[in-house]
């Protein structure tokens, strides 16, 4: 487990899907953005700098394990915005450089 992945432990969810987010930092993990253009593929996740601090409920919604009323584009945008917010936190923690 990388330092970036470990840094998600105890963090507040940056995805915060309305009426989905459980707000429990004990369930937060690093949720990697999906997409072939980002290096995602069978058995491969993207680089950890392309992940968001994400509670278990939001993570389930992003990965399609639970149904929401959000369309795919909304979920992608919410995840991408959360990745950027997480990157800001990672810079402040000194885990990635500006």
Could you tell me the CATH superfamily of domain 3-92? Answer: prophage-derive protein ybcO (3.30.50.20)
Distance CA 26, CA 69 (A): 25
pLDDT in tens, 26-51: 999 999 997 655 555 566 677 899 99
pLDDT score, position 35: 65
H/E run at residue 19: none
Distance CA 68, CA 16 (A): 13
pLDDT score, position 43: 65
pTM (two decimals) = 0.89
pLDDT score, position 66: 96
Which pairs count as long-range contacts for 65-74, CB under 8 Å and 24+ apart, including other chains? 66/20, 68/17, 68/20, 70/17
pLDDT at 78 over 60: yes
Residues that are catalytic = 32
Q: Give the distance, in angstroms, between the CA of residue 51 and the centroid of all CA atoms in the same chain.
A: 5
- Average pLDDT over the chain reads 92
pLDDT score, position 39: 55
């Amino acid at each position: 487990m990388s330092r970036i992945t470990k840094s998600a432990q105890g963090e507040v969810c940056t995805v915060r899907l309305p009426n989905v987010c459980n707000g429990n930092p004990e369930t937060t993990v690093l949720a990697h953005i999906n997409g072939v253009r980002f290096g995602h593929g069978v058995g491969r996740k993207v680089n950890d700098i392309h992940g968001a601090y994400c509670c278990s409920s939001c993570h389930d919604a992003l990965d399609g394990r639970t149904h929401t009323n959000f369309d795919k584009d909304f979920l992608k945008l919410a995840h991408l915005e959360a990745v950027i917010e997480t990157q800001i936190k990672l810079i402040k923690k000194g885990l990635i450089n500006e």
